Structure formats: structure tokens, C-alpha cells
Structure 1
Amino acid sequence: MMLHRLVAGALTLPLLVGTPASASASSEPEPRLPGRFEQRVVVDDLYIPTAAAFAPDGEIFVAEKSGVVKVVARPGARPAVFADLTEEVHNLYDRGMLGLAVDPDFPQRPYVYVLYAYDHVLGDPDPAPRWGTPGSSYDECPDPSDGGPGAEESGCLASGRLSRLTAGATDAGWVMTGEEDVLVEDWCMQYPSHATGSLHFGPDGYLYASGGEGAHYSQVDHGQVEAPYWPGGSNPCGDPDLEGGSLRAQDLRTPGDPLGLSGTVIRIDPDTGRGAPGNPFAGTGDANLERIVAYGLRNPFRFAFRPGVAPTRPEVWVGDVGQGGFEEIDRFRVGAPAQNFGWPCYEGPARNPGFDPVDLPLCESLYDERSAAAPYFAYPRRGKIAGESCPDGSSSVSGVQFAASRTYPDRYDGALFFSDFSRQCIWVMKTGPGGLPDPDRVRPFLPGAASPVDLLTGPDGDLYYLSLGVDASGNFEERGGSLRRIRFAAGNRMPTAALEADRTWGPDPLPVVLDAGGSRDADGDDLAFAWDLDDDGRFDDATGRRVRAVLDGPGDAVVHVRVSDARAQDVASLRLHPGDQGPPVLDVTAPSRSLRWAVGDRIPLGATAVDPDGSEVRVSWAVVVEHCPGGLCHSHEVLGAGTDPDVVAPDHEHPSYLRVQYRATDERGLSSTESFRLEPRTGDLRLRTRPKGLRVSVAGASHRTGWTGTFIVGSKVSLSAPRVQRRRGHGGRGGRRVVFRRWSDGGERSHVVEAAEGRLRLKAIYR
């Protein structure tokens, strides 16, 4: 999956955090939830969280993309570090720690399981990190000009790892003790997307994990784009002539070479990592084959189990992120023959137009067999789902889950919820007459969801979702990620507390006006206000919507307001900084705002900052690709929390631009940020055929020529021409059969061209 997000508008404004003008804190419910549903933040102060799990005794464990695992003692408590695996985790683009599970018998079995992109090459005797830098939370892939492979050129080779961590109790809470117990290392990854996916215990007590095929995310990659950068000349990803690139998802169908786990769902023993009893290939003697329960998947980012099904034969529902055509929700039963969902030969309900014309043996035999399983539900990556109002233009299914709340209305019994990160939306698929979720009964549930990257069912049965933490201007917020609960208020609805201050820093003592007037009650009840101004846990310092206070240092002051109706209450808090002269003053020195880039360009980065108080300042920056098809934008992090002096411009579809984000933070946590966009240089590609009007595949999509597309200069564009097709006859009827002869540039029937400025004209010639 590409980690996507929605841009609220086309304008990009510099942001300054911690100014004396005002500051606010609120737990604001989403007004567009249906009926009496409301959402609340349960855990915040997270940085790019990607997975969460509830422990049976109440703790909440959260994985951050960088490789840090945090634990929250209870909802509302501050997260504490449980484990730090940043040195082992390869945090690049969409790689990172993406899966997390807690043993169902925790703490009697004190185990936490993690699934992540491992900064290591399969079979390489050298330990991690291979590409990353020790002490850095973001791991770059060296550019060819620096003697490296380039993340989007040869690819930055890594693997996936599933490990068991042991939890030990301390006075401060749970922490990892001892060494990491590695259960599985596989999932060969060449390009920095389609990495590992989810990790969950099934109702049968076995551990399930998913992983992508590690191929190029924008090109039609069947091995031809690979310029191998294997250590020692070996190839740990299998034979590229048999199952290169996306064809790794069909590796099970090439028995003559070692089998990998790319593009699969596996089911294993949580103590040994071996395939679980009852798996389709149990007893074959091949360790990986015995683990697999489903395959032929591109990026099975999330999956869930349907409740009410016999635990001995669980029913798994998988959200598989598509490439050019469709997002899929796939369904299979454990214990049946392993399902092959057909990627890359199929995408959605039909043959993949990027791979079908290439006549690959693995795909042609699959077409002949007609054995690939169709998705249970597929929706177009560009286009509306019936009856919904979520923005379209791009898609990435980011969560699937069944709620089991006894407080939800009966119409949600057995319903499937699924989320889309790019479109910032959560839908519900209600059940039909047979009791299964009905694809004809899909409706929006939460339009405008806050960058949803996973869906969970909580111990209360309610639906929860994990917010990645992307603000309205496209910045990954430093501590903006959160876990949110969606509850149904059958009776009284909770009030919502909101707190603003006219300043957050200034002299010591600090005079401040605190205002809770933005608080509201969805039922229209009268509200009472109580204040804790000395952070002693007692709301006995003031009453009323608006108060004046004088706060003393040294150090920060935290104030709280409790907002109550007759039956429920909510609290908002705010941190202020007496004796601080303000946030750092940030000076961005590079790049120039007028810089226009092409793929592979080296873009200089630079900024300095001075704190008015003279304290030390930490300056960091990040670079994000904003991809905006149809006006809907989503993000791919290219460089995160960077300290390097430059970044190499990545390859991506047009329309896209780069957003450069700078942050300066002083010793007390006050920060200033600045964000701006850099536009690319572009060129057109004009395609024709002879005879006119035939079809060719461009970057995985089928087009009838003449067709013109716009690409970023330097982009690699995949072209494929069917070997045989028919001319359109009169009235649109089938015409004469024609056979491919050559491309005008002399390229193979399937080849890659590089976009250039101006207009590049190519013709596919048939006879």
C-alpha cells in the first residue's frame, strides 16, 4: 500500500505552531457519522502509527512505522515506549513496521508479535542494517550516483520479518525484555512498496500474517524492469525469468525453484513459526508452502475474521490494494484448498490490462485454467461507489473489520466495515438475506475520516480506527497520530470539550485567558464547566466558560477543563509555556521555491533556526510526494525526519508534486514549521497505432490510440502491445485480425520508455 492522504485545498500555507495568537485542544466528534454515532480519540501523541492491538487485561499496544512499539496503560493515558526496533526496521517510503498482535493469553503468555520490513537481504550473512543508518529512524536507499541501487531504479532489496517479543513488568509498565525471537524471515522486497501487511491471531488460536509482492508500484513489473542489485551476484527473490516482479505472487505455481511468501497470507504456530495444522499444504515438507493459506495478492495490507464462523475453519476477509484499476476485498476459508486471487494476471473482476498483452506463460496458463478466485467485492480506484459522497480520484483500501458491539443498532449486525486511506472514508457493507455482507448494500459510514490506516474491533465490540496523523496541509504531524473509537449513544450523548488560550507562551508568570466556549453538546443539554489550573487532578480551581489565570513557571503548565451535562462529561487539556520567549525562528535556505524538478534530480535541502531563549534547537525535514489524480491528493513519504543535505526526486505518476516540510523544535517542545510545494517538469507521450484505433497498455492501463498522457520528465513508462488484436469494423463490430510487428522506437513488444520534455511520439505497427 502507498500511504495516502487527502489534501483539503490547493493552497499551501506556511504553518507556525505555538504562536501567541491562540492555541486550542478539543476532542471533536465527526458530525457526518450516521444517527447517534460519535467518534472519540482514545490514544494520541503518536507519530505515524500503523498498527494497534488490545491486550486482554486492558493495555493498548501501538506500532509506529519507524519501528517503535508503544504501550498505553488505559485509554487516555500517555503512550510509553515498549520496544525500539528502529535499527532492524527498514523505514523507507511505504516500508516500516506495519503489523502488530498481542497473545490472546497475555500476560500469562507475555508475548507481543511484530511484522515489519527488515533492513536485511535474504541469505546475506551480514546483519541489519544494510541500508539504514544506526540511530536514524528513517532509512534512505543510496542513489546510483552514490554507488547505491536507487529505490526506484534497481530497487533497495530487503525482506520481511515476523518476530515474537517478550514483555516484562516494571514499575513504569510493560517493556520488552530479552532478545527478539524471529519466527519467519521471507517476503522478498525489491521496490519500496507492497511490503508486509497485517498480523492477527485467528479465532483458532493460530497467527496469521500477510505480505505484498515487493514489485515496482507504478510500472508493469514482470521482471523486465529489474536491474538486479543482489549481493554477491545471487538472486534471493527467485528466478526473474520465471516469477520476476509482480509474478512473485504466483511463485507457488513454479515448483522448480525455492518458494517465497510474496503476495500471500500465511497461518503459523505462534511458538515455532511453522505452518499450522490444517493448512492446505500441511505435510509437504516445504516450510514456506506449509505456511500459505492464500496467494496471488498484490498488497494484502489488511485482513479480518468474520465472527460467528466455526473457529476450526475461520473465514478471512482481505483488503488488497490495487494498482491501476480496482481495490479488492477478498474472502476465503481456512482448511479449503488455497485460493489464488490471480494478481498480477487479474486485477479486480477482469484480466489485468497491463499484464494480459504481454503473453506471460504464468498468466496465459492461469487464463486457460480459469482457476483464479474473483474478489468478493471490488471498487474502481477512480470513480464513485454507488450512493456515496467520498472524494474520488485515487484509492487504497486500508482497513477491513467486523464490529461486534451490542450497543450498535441491529442493522449493523454482521456488517463489514472497510476504509480507504486515499479517499479518507469508511464504508459499511450491511448483510443481505443470506447473512453475508452484501456488495449491493455498501453505504458511506464516515466520510472525512482522519487518515484511516487500520480498523480494529475493541474489547467493547465497538469499531476503532487508527489515524496516521496527516494535517490538512499535507504534513505528517510530529505527534498527530491517534487511535479513535466510534461508539453509539443510545441515550445521552457525551458533550465535547474544547479549550482555547489567547497565548501559549510569554513572561513568567504568564497571564492567560482560557476559553471553553467552543464546547458543545449534541443533545443540546446545558453544560457545566470546572477547571483544574494547577494540574493536581482536582477540578476545583474555577468555573464558567471563560476564565483568566496567571500561571507560574519554571517549566510548563498544563491546564484542564471538564465539561459536563447531567449524565456525562469530557475533558480537554492544554500545555502552556510560562517564561518562554516563543518558538524557534526558522530560516529555510534551500531549495528555492521556484525550483522545478525531474525524476532523478538531486534537490538540496537546508534550514537553520534560532531560539529566542537561546536553547538548543533540533531542525528536521521531510519530503513527501503528493499525487493528485482527479484533484484528490494522497501522500507518499520519500524522506522522513531527515538530516541529509539533499534528496533525489522520485518517480511517480503525474499529476504529482513534492512537498518539503521543515520543523524546528526547542528544548521545551515549542516548534515552528514551514511547508511548501515544488512542481515537476513534465512532457507528453503521444501514442498511435497502424492501423488506427487499436489498443495498447500504458503504465498498466489500456488505452485506444491515439492517446496522449502527461508524465514527469525522467519517469519510466511501461508500454505493452497485444500480440494479436482486431481492427474495429463498421458500426463497432469486430474487424480484421492484425498481428504486432514493431514499435516505432525499436523497442520490444513490452518495454519501458523514459518521459522527456516536449512531446514524445510513438507508434505500434501491426500487419
Structure 2
Amino acid sequence: MPRYIVKWLNQSHVIAALAVLLTIPFFANVAHADSSAAAAVGNALVAAQSVTCQPTSTPRPQPTLPKGFTEQVLYSGCLTQPTAISFNSDRTRVFVAEKGGRVWNCDLASPNCTLFADLSSEVCNQGDRGLLGLAVDPQNDANVYALYSAPRATGTCSGNFLTGGQLSLLTASGETKILPPAGATSQTWCFFYQSHSIGGLVFGSDNKTLYVSAGDGASFDQVDYGQLDNACGDGTNLPQGAFRSQGVSPYSDGVILRITDPGTGTQSIAVVASGLRNPFRFVRLPGLTDELYVGNVGWNAWEAIDHVSVAGQNFGWPCYEGPGPQPDYQSTNYCGSVGGVTAPFFAYAHQSYVTTDDRKGRTCGARPIGGGPDKNGSVISAIGFTDGTSTTYPAPYNEALYFGDLLRQCIWTMQPPDNTPQPFEKGLQGGPVDLKVGQNGDLFYVDFVTSTVRRIIHK
């Protein structure tokens, strides 16, 4: 990674979670920073505001890509810590979320972005917290769903601080809080530590159902089975902590929720996947299916892609990680009742190469600070599908799953049900935190490190 980033990194934290990168002081925003004088307090209404980004460019040197592919920088010099993107129905515009709480509506035909919403006064932006999930309603471009960290009490968001998650609908009229609804006396999620907060948003195949992910909310520094604190107030009986992902708490931490008819009188909520440590990003298999592929950020040893094919699957965290038992949590004696665990679709060890090509002297990552194949750490930070709509992508890449590791600075590809990855892009300038198929069926990604949105084309 660039030296100005590396000097802020603590290696033991880096390999634990994506949360660590987002705690780098160089990048951290002041909590609740008012990023726009036009922001209307409390309802996300914004006055007309636009920015002009630098024109589309081709970075030099180019990352290493398969023959015929080129990476372009679409939006640069105008965004601050972008975290997520979502396209309108005809893919002529892309909405971009910033970690601090702003949402931009950007024109793919020009370098212009218009401020769509400003949630800066609502968002707790520190560490792994912020505005992290975004999804445009496939049936109505005027509706944009946002997922962010929100303080549960007045005060700053610095350090270990009690926060929850907020799923909201954003329109030109402002913000409507959906989960939890405005005025609710209980929270859906609870997070005390800076890591493993809310994650991503994905629409189901019916274009109405919304899937929402959230991390386990536990400490990433040490084993946390609830003995460290009772800040969430969900009981003194152990286990808690990371075991919230096993349903021991009233909070929906460490799970993926399915929300039917969000924001309506018939809204219903169900857990479709549990036992997840930090499902920061996940994607739906294209077509008439609600199968999900989840990038599950690991702890000290493994990163995983989990395949949710039926509702109710348990992926085992914290008792299991990667291909087997998690020894530190197994030693707590709370894992006896955790069974019927689904193994990951694919997993790679921090101390191993992702592919054999990586081993052949062409490793992913920047200059090592500690050695080993993962160099500066490992974190599965983005995952997405191409959907077969491209007229230029070759067949192996046109309907494929892609996943990226921000710290190894690479993107790989595979074609499920085949779970054998192949290198796709190496030597990224920064790293991906969101991968989406967009205009012309091309692959787009958000680079958090360089505050850019990038596109990969093929000629």
C-alpha cells in the first residue's frame, strides 16, 4: 500500500477486519462533520449543489488486467471517502455514497454530480462506522435506500461508543426512517466497538424485497463472548459479544435480513443467514434467483465467500471460521450448541496465496511491511457479478463473480458453481470497497483509498 497509509497501519488490526483501514487517522472524518452548508438538519433535504469531477482518465501505470481490458477513472477530485454505488434503472446515472453521509447523483455522460441527500448530521462516521450501504429502487429511480451507523445517544462517535444501524428511504422530499422507524423505542442492531457495524443493501429478484447485512458488533482486538462489556444491555447471561451472530440476543448482529415490502404497512423481516462475522459486502446471483454470495471479512486467519442458497443457513461464526473450527472461540466452551454449519463457498488464508499465479512472483499487494503472501494484510472488501449484458466482455468475464481485497490491492474472478478463482486485476492504486455491474454491462468499483469511482472496459 502507499507509504503514507502504511505508516498508520497496525498489522494485528489490519488482518482482523476492514474496520481497521477505516480507522486510519489520515482518513478519518470528524464525527458528524457538516460537509455542506446546504444540509437541512434532520431530514436530509438539500439545496441545489453540484460538483464537477476531473474528466474521465486512464491511470498510468495501468493495473495488470487481461488482454483487451482497460481501467478508467470516472470520478476523481470531487468525492470524499466514497463507500458504495448504485445505478438507476437504465444505468445512465450512478448514485454514490460517501462515508460521512452525503449521497451524490452522477451523470455517466459527463463529470457532473448533484447532491441528492446529506445525512451528515445523522451519521456516526468513525472507524468502521458511516454511510456504507446504498441501493436505488429498481422500480423507481426517485427512491434511494441508505444504510448507515447512527448514534444511540447524543454525543460524539469517538472510540467505543454505543451506536445502532439505520435503514432509510431517501427521496427529493427528505429521509424516511424505515428500520428502525422514526420514534422506535428499540433498535434492530447494536454496536459498541468501532468495527463490524452495518454493511450493504441488495434488492431481491422481485425488485421489491431488500436484503440488509450487518456485522457481529464484537471487538476485533480479542475474543469477545460478552465478558468485555454489557453496553448493548441485552442481558448479563453469557455468551453475548460475537455470539450475537448466533441469535443469542434481540439484536440482528452478524446476520443478513430479508425485508419484504420495506417501509409499508405490510413490512416483514426475516433472518436468511446467520453466523457471519462481518458481511460487509454481498451480491445476488443475477437472474430469477435470490441466491446470495457474501464477502465475509475474517479475523486473524481466513477470508471467506459464503453462498446463501436457502433461507436459514448458519455459517458458524464465532465457533467456525474459514474451513474449520475457530480455536480461540472454541476454547470458551460456548460452541457446543452451534451445529449444522454451512462451509464457505471459497476461503483463502491470510498466510496463503489466493491463486497459483499469485505465487509465481506476481503477488498481490504493495511493498510488504511484514512479509508473507498477504503482505500488508487481507480483507475481502468487495464482491459483485457481471450479468451477461455486455457486448464486449469475453465469455469468461461476462457472467462471472468478482471479489476484491483492498489490502492485497487485487480483484479476482470465478464462475460459480466453480469456486476456483483466477486473477483479474492486480496492482490497483488503492482498493475496492464496492463492485457493481453498470452501464453496458461493465464492471465498476469504488476505490476508498483514492476517493474515486472506476470503470473497467473491454475493446
Q: TM-score range by the shorter chain?
A: 0.7 to 0.9
CA contact (8 A) 2:59 2:72 kept: yes
Q: Give the gaps of 5 or more residues in structure 2.
A: 1-17, 25-54, 181-186, 366-373
The answer to whether structure 1 residue 28 and structure 2 residue 59 are counterparts is yes
Larger relative contact order, structure 1 or 2 (CA cutoff 8 Å, min sep 6): 2
Aligned match for 1:4, one of 9, 21, 28: 21
Structure 1's 179 and 443: CA in aligned 2 closer, same or farther, altered over 3 A?
closer
Corresponding residue number in structure 2 for 1:208: 211
Letter of the 1:225 partner, please give it. L
Q: Which residue of 2 aligns with 1:269?
A: 260
The amino acid across from 1:344 in the alignment is P
Separation in 2 of the partners of 1:209 and 1:85? 19
Q: Which residue of 1 aligns with 2:30?
A: none
Paired residue for 2:9?
none
2:446 alignment partner, SS class: strand
Q: CA deviation at 1:59?
A: 2.1
In 2 relative to 1, CA 48–191 (structure 1 residues): closer, same or farther, beyond 3 Å? same
Question: Structure 1 counterpart of 2:255, which letter?
Answer: T
Give the CA deviation at 1:119: 1.5
Higher alpha-carbon deviation: 29-38 or 44-53: 29-38
Distance in 2, matches of 1:211 and 1:273, equals 22
Which residue in the other structure is 2:306 paired with?
330
Give the deviation of 1:43 after TM superposition: 2.0
Is the CA contact (8 Å cut-off) linking 1:327 and 1:397 kept in structure 2? Answer: yes
Superimposed CA distance per residue, residues 708-760 of structure 1 (whole angstroms, 9 cap, x where no aligned partner)? xxxxxxxxxxxxxxxxxxxxxxxxxxxxxxxxxxxxxxxxxxxxxxxxxxxxx
- Across the aligned residues of Structure 1 and Structure 2, the Cα RMSD in angstroms comes to 2.3
Q: Is the 8 A contact 2:211 2:256 kept in 1?
A: yes
Is residue 383 from structure 1 mapped to residue 342 from structure 2 by the alignment? no
Q: How big is the shift at 1:181?
A: 3.2
**2:332 aligned partner:** 358
1:85 aligns with 2:119: yes
Q: AA paired with 2:456? A: I
Distance in 1 (alpha carbons) for counterparts of 2:70 and 2:214: 33
Instruction: Tell me which of 60, 66, 70 is aligned to 1:38.
Output: 70
SS in 2 for 1:101: strand
Counterpart CA distance in 2 for 1:340 and 1:403 is 27
Q: Do 1:326 and 1:347's aligned partners in 2 also have CA atoms closer than 8 Å?
A: yes
Matched, 1:102 2:98: no
Distance 2:175 2:396 in 1: 47
Which string of whole-angstrom CA distances, capped at 9 and with x for unpartnered residues, describes residues 517-540 of structure 1? xxxxxxxxxxxxxxxxxxxxxxxx
Relative to structure 1, the CA distance from residue 32 to residue 86 in structure 2 (aligned partners, 3 Å threshold; closer, same or farther) is same
- Measured in 2, the distance between the counterparts of 1:27 and 1:70 equals 23
Q: 2:452 matched to 1:482?
A: yes
Instruction: Return the alpha-carbon distance in structure 2 between the equivalents of residues 66 and 272 of structure 1.
Output: 24
1:93–1:31: structure 2 CA closer, same or farther, 3 Å change rule?
closer
Question: Is 1:409 aligned with 2:441?
Answer: no
Corresponding residue for residue 98 of structure 2: 64
Q: Cα 1:447–1:358, aligned 2, differ >3 Å: closer, same or farther? A: same
Which residue, 144, 165, 184 being the options, matches 2:170? 165
The corresponding residue for 1:295 is 274
How far did residue 270 of structure 1 move?
4.4
Mapped contact 2:117–2:174 kept (Cα < 8 A):
no
Structure 1 residues 352 and 204: alpha-carbon distance in aligned structure 2, compared to 1, 3 A threshold: same
What is the correspondence of 1:330-479 to structure 2 with a 5 Å cutoff?
330-333=306-309, 336-360=310-334, 363-366=335-338, 369=339, 371-387=340-356, 388=358, 389-391=363-365, 392-393=374-375, 394-404=377-387, 405-429=390-414, 431=415, 436-440=416-420, 442-449=421-428, 450-470=430-450
- Over the matched positions of the two proteins, sequence identity in percent amounts to 40
Q: What TM-score comes out, normalization by structure 1 length?
A: 0.48
- Separation of aligned partners in 2, 1:272 and 1:186: 15
Q: Return the TM-score normalized by structure 2.
A: 0.79
Given that 2:143 and 2:169 are in contact with CA atoms closer than 8 Å, whether structure 1 keeps it comes out as: yes
Larger relative strand fraction: 1
Structure 1, 177-186 or 93-102: larger mean CA deviation: 177-186
Which residue of structure 1 lines up, in the alignment, with residue 190 of structure 2? 188
Secondary structure in structure 1 of the residue aligned to 2:250: coil
Instruction: Report the secondary structure of 1:2's partner residue.
Output: helix
Distance 2:399 2:329 in 1: 37
Contact 1:213–1:299 (Cα < 8 Å) also in 2: yes
Compared CA separation, residues 25 and 320, structure 1 to 2 (3 A): closer
Query: How many residues get paired?
Result: 384
Structure 1 runs (4+) deviating above 4 angstroms are: 273-276
Could you say what secondary structure the match of 1:114 adopts?
Answer: strand
Please state whether the residue corresponding to 2:85 is helix, strand or coil: strand
Give 2:155's aligned amino acid.
Answer: W
1:314 aligns with 2:277: no
Q: Give the alignment of 1:481-560 within 5 angstroms.
A: 481-489=451-459
Structure 1 residues 297-341: Cα deviation after superposition (integer angstroms, max 9, x where no partner)? 010000111124xx2x411000000011100100012xx341011
Q: What amino acid is the match of 2:308?
A: F
Local SS of the residue matching 1:412: helix
Partner of 2:161: 156
For residues 352-406 of structure 1, what are the alpha-carbon distances to aligned partners after superposition, in whole Å with 9 as ceiling and x for unaligned? Answer: 011011211xx1112xx4x011100000123211322213131110111111223
Q: Which residue of 2 aligns with 1:589?
A: none
- Deviation sequence 1:52-89 (CA, Å, 0-9, x none): 11112522111100111111133432322211111111
| Paired residues of 1:414 and 1:437 also in contact (CA < 8 A) | no
